[in-house]
Every structure is written in C-alpha cells, then in structure tokens.
Amino acid sequence: MKKKLKIYVTISSLLILSSCTVAGSWVYERADSFLADYFKEYANFSNQQKDEIDKVTENYLDWFTRNELPVIRAVLVDLKEINNSDVDNLIKETYKNGQELFERSNKYFEKSFIKFFKTLTDLQVDEIKNHFEEIQVEREESRKEEKIYSEEVIENYISGFRRLNIKLTKAQKDYVKENIKGLKNIRSEWSFFQEKWVEELIEILNKRNDQDFDKRITAHLKALENLGDEEFQLKRKNNEQIGIKIISGILSNASEKQIKGAKRRIDTYIASIDRILSNRSLD
C-alpha cells in the first residue's frame, strides 16, 4: 500500500521524470507492461488471469493516452505562465486537476477490478493478504532509517524544484524551512489507515460470492480516495495548503533565470507528450 494504488502516478511519473522526449515516449509506451507486472506481484495468478491483467492495463494505457494526456498537456501549458501575478490560483488549479485525474483513473479500473476479484481463489486471497503484510514489514524497516521529518520534507522540496529545473537559493531554502514548521507529521497515521483499508479489503474479498459484493467492494475502492477520520483529513488539508503556499511563494519570487529554466523543462515534457500522441495517431 506504500504505492497507494494511485495508478495514474505510475504513468505520469514515468513520463515527467524522463530526461528527454525520446526516452520519455519510449518508457511511456511500455508503461502498461510495468503496471501489469506490478499487479502480478500480488499473487500466483493463472495464465488466464495474467492475460486479463495484460489486457486491462493495455486498455488503460490507451484510455489514458486518449483522455488524460491531452489534459496533462493543457496543465503543463498553463504552468508555463508561472511568472504571472496569479501563481497561487494556478498551483491550486494544477493540484485540483491532479486529484480529478486520480479519481477518474480509479473509476476507470473499478469494473475491471470487481470482475477480476470474482476470479480469485481462496489461496490467492491469502497470497494477496501476505503480499500486503510483506509491504508493511518493509515499510516498518524503512521507517527505522527515515530522516527527521523536517529534513526529509526540505529535501523533497529541493529535489522537486530541481526536477522543474529550478535550483533553490539559500533564501528560498530558508523560506521552505520556515513554512514547513506548520506541517503535521501524519506518516504513522497514514500507515495505520492504509492497514485498516487493506484489512477490510481482505475481509470483503473473502466474501466475494456474497450478493452485496459489488456494492461493498465499489464503496471500498472509492474510500481509498479519502482515507482516515475527520481529524486526519484536517491534517492532510493543512499540509496541502502549506504545500501550495510554499510552491506559490517560490514561483512568485523566482528569478528570471529560474523561470526560464522551468519553462524549458516544461517544454521538454510537452514535447514528450506530443511525441507520444503523434506516435499513437500513426498506429
């Protein structure tokens, strides 16, 4: 669950983090295979089930390319206006677009997941449970090596802006340090609510032959978008607002050199999307 099942992140990250248009499109066109391999790790599936996973992920990549890549491209074009006077609203709109994309991707997978879940054997459900437990153990082990929360957050911002081709100055790093003081460390709570979600998932899968299975599993998959209780959601909202403030503050006061560098990087991403869309139109 550390991957949070945010499927669209896998696709868009493969694209956005690539260093050039050729590499970006090459990796993207194989993203369905990466996704399929990811799902196949959960249990020892039959050949027929593996074929179904391949089919679903391939269809998803086609759907994502037709419907979501143009949306991402439009967002990137908008982001090229980061030197305007309304950066705060621009960043908020970008975040909103990302959330909506996540929700649409989840919705796309719902029917396929439900259909696939019904083909599971009792042994495979146990294997899925064990897989999640192994992930939890790995998470606990990695947590022992985690840095101080504030230091990790600062490094994440620095590396994030670097991917946008912006190297933060000392003053900008100090701005980040000052503003993250209000962040709530919700890592342990996030892990707790993920575990609870998995426990309920396994419970529902064990009753996959019940009459109300479709209704229960659909509601449970949707619940992944809003994990946790009200207090946890308030903390997440607080952190979200602080993040938007930090990003907006940095971009609003970025130097001309930093803005130009960011625009060049965004142009690279747009060119990568254009290459993908062009290649698909020729298929």
Q: How far apart are CA 50 and CA 38, in angstroms?
A: 11
Task: Tell me the angle at which helices 230-252 and 170-179 cross, rounded to the nearest 10 degrees.
Answer: 160
Query: Is residue 25 one of the residues assigned to a domain?
Result: yes
- Asked whether residue 2 is assigned to any structural domain, the reply reads no
Integer angstrom CA distances of residue 271 from 21, 77, 265, 278: 6, 11, 10, 10
Write the single-letter amino acid at 165: N
In a domain, 166, yes or no: yes
User: Residue 246 falls within a domain, yes or no?
Assistant: yes
Q: Which residue has the tokens 């991957």?
A: 3
Is 172's pLDDT higher than 80? yes
How many domains, in total, are found in the chain?
Answer: 1
**Beta-carbon count within 10 A of 238 CB:** 14
Q: Tens digits of per-residue pLDDT, 1-15?
A: 434 344 444 445 444
Is 1 within a domain?
A: no
CA 134 – CA 131 distance, rounded (Å): 5
User: If you search the block for the tokens 């970025």, which residue do you land on?
Assistant: 254
- Whole-number pLDDT of residue 205: 95
The answer to the question of residue 270 being in a domain is yes
Name the residue range of residue 229's domain: 7-282
- d(C-alpha 135, C-alpha 28), whole Å: 26
In this prediction, residue 52 has a pLDDT band, given cuts at 50, 70 and 90, of: very high
For residue range 200-241, list pLDDT tens digits in order: 999 999 999 999 999 999 999 888 778 888 999 999 889 889
Between CA 233 and CA 222 the distance in angstroms is 15
Question: Is residue 212 included in any domain, yes or no?
Answer: yes
Check if the beta carbon of residue 41 is closer than 8 Å to that of residue 130.
Answer: no
